[in-house]
Amino acid sequence: MDSVLLYDTTLRDGTQGEYISFTAKEKIVIAQKLDDMGIHYIEGGWPGSNPRDMLFFDMAKEITFKNARLTAFGATRKQGITPENDNNLKALLNSGTEAVAIVGKTWDLHVEQIMQNSLEENLAMINDSVAFLKKRGREVIFDAEHFFDGYKANKEYALQSLFAAVDGGADILVLCDTNGGTLPFDIQTIISCLTKKLKQKYNQYDHLPVKIGIHTHNDSGLAVANSIIAVQAGAVMVQGTINGYGERCGNADLTSIIPILALKMGMQCLSGENIKKLKKLSRFISDTANMTPLNNRPFVGKSAFAHKGGIHVSAIMKNPLAYEHMQPELVGNKRRVLMSDLSGKSNVEYKAKELGIDLDADGVDSSRLVTRIKELEQQGYQFETADGSLKLLIERFKDQFKPMFELKSFMVTIIKEKDRPCTSQASIKISANGVEKITVAEGDGPVSALDNAIRKALNKFYPGVLSSTQLVDFKVRVIDGREGTKAKVRVIIESRDTNNIWSTIGVSEDIIEASWQALADSLQYKLSKKEGTGDER
């Protein structure tokens, strides 16, 4: 079985993405997660460029990585000085990593017009820098920046830049599609030509004198495809980032590349057990980066194995292969069935089973339940994104819903004083187990105040149960704007506790009432789950 080395640059190239930044401590935690995953190389950053990365490498010296080779990133020496006097190369050595990656120019446009350097001096910079690091016992990865653009513009010079790195002792040549504009068939053709040239140059016709890697960007939406075709053409290292984070449109997404290589192409890169951690790793990185996870991200996205159409659901109940290209569990994901006005009996039956409800045992007419759901969807509800409310709806339909509390009344007051921001206060009266409670609380806004008041009241009936539950997202959508201020609004609340996330929905002409419906369902769902199973969902 052919093997491929995985090189993660989330901590360096990934942080060049807009809105993405990690502290040195966060980078350490991420590096440990990547190491636990089995990633072969972790690029920690550029120690010669900023204090944060220097601190990261200092902290990393106290950590033993089980699987990964930590890598420091830098550039070739500056023009006109020796490697021994180059502060950037000194910083690479001081980082203490076994492997270093240095970037060098391979496109004559960059050498002459951007660097204002001579072509000859650039080749010397590449050769000198690689040799300097090799003589000091480092594994050297040469990142050939803009290689594919350089090859198309000046083939001979692009090749000379690679030969300079090989002559210096480079262990791996990484071919970079830095601008992200190269097409897959060009990637394949150029790598095939390069491998022939390398064999001819060094008279090694049975094998290449150096390993080939690939580093692609997603400006044409082809980063993953270009990485895969590069492997087909002979690359044995793939560089990328978790979730495809990176500058402009991002880098090649390792959460897609890993399952394609391992599960689709049968190549050795990660163990099956580690691949099952992929979705969890994806979510951890997005949470740490404070980026909203993409639901439609292949393999690991929430919607990657979601089914909405009734015909599709009916088919996967018989054989999931009918509408799924692989088992979602292989990447740590799961199958989801969505409820909407497109749903049929199959959707309802599958969804009820998923939510732990046995419709058959109670003789529930699935057709009537489908009709009821479609009626509510017509009114503006959207259960495909509100599993919590759907579960409560089915239980109510079966007359099995036991409310954990009942609303008697609430009042929300908003106070606006001149030159001061609005303040909100909510008072609420609820009952539980035949006992009524009235509480008052303030909040940053009316919904926040209402949330604080109901939690304060419920804590008297169910002490500590809601302590780990928090609201993580709040969405408001006007259903039909043509009605103006009389239009219905849809409120979707996403909540989470220690282990799970659930969504609930409310619909009304009044945004506060819609918010209350969604908020109440969220808390009813949590409390009933605790009451019914003794654990937290």
Q: Could you tell me the pLDDT band of residue 344, with boundaries at 50, 70 and 90? A: low
Amino acid at 362: D
pLDDT of residue 361: 59
Residue 252: pLDDT band (50, 70, 90) is very high
Q: Tokens 């099956």 identify what position?
A: 272
Mean model confidence pLDDT for the chain: 90
Indicate if the pLDDT at residue 534 is higher than 60: no
pLDDT at 343: 61
Dig out the tokens for 528 from the structure: 């009933």
What's at 402, amino acid-wise? K
What was the pLDDT predicted at 75?
A: 97
The first and second tokens of residue 285, run together, are 């990185």
Of the two residues 308 and 29, the one the predictor is more confident about is 29
In contact, 140 and 171? CB cutoff 8 Å? yes
**Average pLDDT in the 405-430 region?**
91
Quote the CA–CA distance of 71 and 303 in Å, as a whole number. Answer: 34
At residue 72, the pLDDT reads: 98
- Which region among 194-203, 205-214, 413-422 has the lowest average model confidence (pLDDT)? 413-422
Range 406-533: architecture per CATH: 2-Layer Sandwich (3.30)
- pLDDT for 533 equals 41
* Between residues 289 and 346, the one the model is more confident about: 289
The bridge status of strand 501-508 relative to strand 489-496 is antiparallel
Task: Determine which of 102-116, 356-370, 441-455 has the lowest per-residue pLDDT on average.
Answer: 356-370
Question: Which long-range contacts (C-beta less than 8 Å, at least 24 apart) are formed by 432-440?
Answer: 432/404, 432/405, 432/406, 432/458, 432/461, 433/461, 435/461, 436/408, 437/461
In sequence order, which ranges of 309-412 are alpha helices (DSSP H)?
310-318, 345-354, 366-378, 387-397
Q: What is the pLDDT of residue 399?
A: 77
Query: According to the model, what pLDDT value does residue 395 have?
Result: 81
All CATH 3.30.160.270 domain ranges of the chain, comma separated, are 406-533
| Fold for the domain defined by 5-270 | TIM Barrel (3.20.20)
134, two tokens? 């090799």
Give pLDDT, residue 537: 33
What does the pLDDT average to over 172-188? 98
Strands 99-105 and 306-307: unpaired
Mean of pLDDT values over 490-510: 89
Q: What is the pLDDT of residue 536?
A: 37
- Of 77-91, 362-376, 426-440, 452-466, the least confident: 362-376
Question: Dihedrals φ, ψ of 184, to 5°?
Answer: -55, -45
pLDDT at 411 over 60: yes
In the three-class reduction of DSSP (H, G, I as helix; E, B as strand; rest coil), residue 259 is classed as helix
Between the ranges 168-172, 362-366, 484-488, 532-536, where is the mean pLDDT highest? 168-172
Helices (H) and strands (E) in the chain, counts: 18, 16
pLDDT value, residue 367: 77
**What pLDDT band is residue 360 in, cutting at 50, 70 and 90?**
low
Residue among 46, 7, 472 nearest 283 (CA): 472
Please state which of the ranges 34-38, 355-359, 376-380, 498-502 shows the lowest mean pLDDT.
Answer: 355-359
Alpha helices in 320-435 (DSSP H): 345-354, 366-378, 387-397
Whether the pLDDT of residue 532 is over 50: the answer is: no
**Distance between start and end Cα atoms, the chain:** 41
Chain segment 100-146, per-residue pLDDT in tens: 999 999 999 999 999 999 999 999 999 999 999 999 999 999 999 99
pLDDT-derived band at 385 (thresholds 50, 70, 90) equals: confident
Residue 330 confidence (pLDDT) above 90: yes
- How high is the pLDDT of residue 400? 76
Region 49-70: mean pLDDT is 95
Length of the chain measured in residues: 537
3-state secondary structure of 444: coil
Cβ atoms of 503 and 492 within 8 Å: the answer is yes
Confidence of residue 340 (pLDDT cuts 50, 70, 90): low
CATH 3.20.20.70 location in the chain: 5-270
Q: Residue 530: pLDDT band by 50, 70, 90 thresholds?
A: low
**Is the confidence at residue 356, as pLDDT, over 90?**
no
pLDDT of residue 362: 62
pTM of the predicted model as reported, rounded to 2 decimal places: 0.79
Distance from C-alpha of 438 to C-alpha of 34, rounded to nearest angstrom = 50
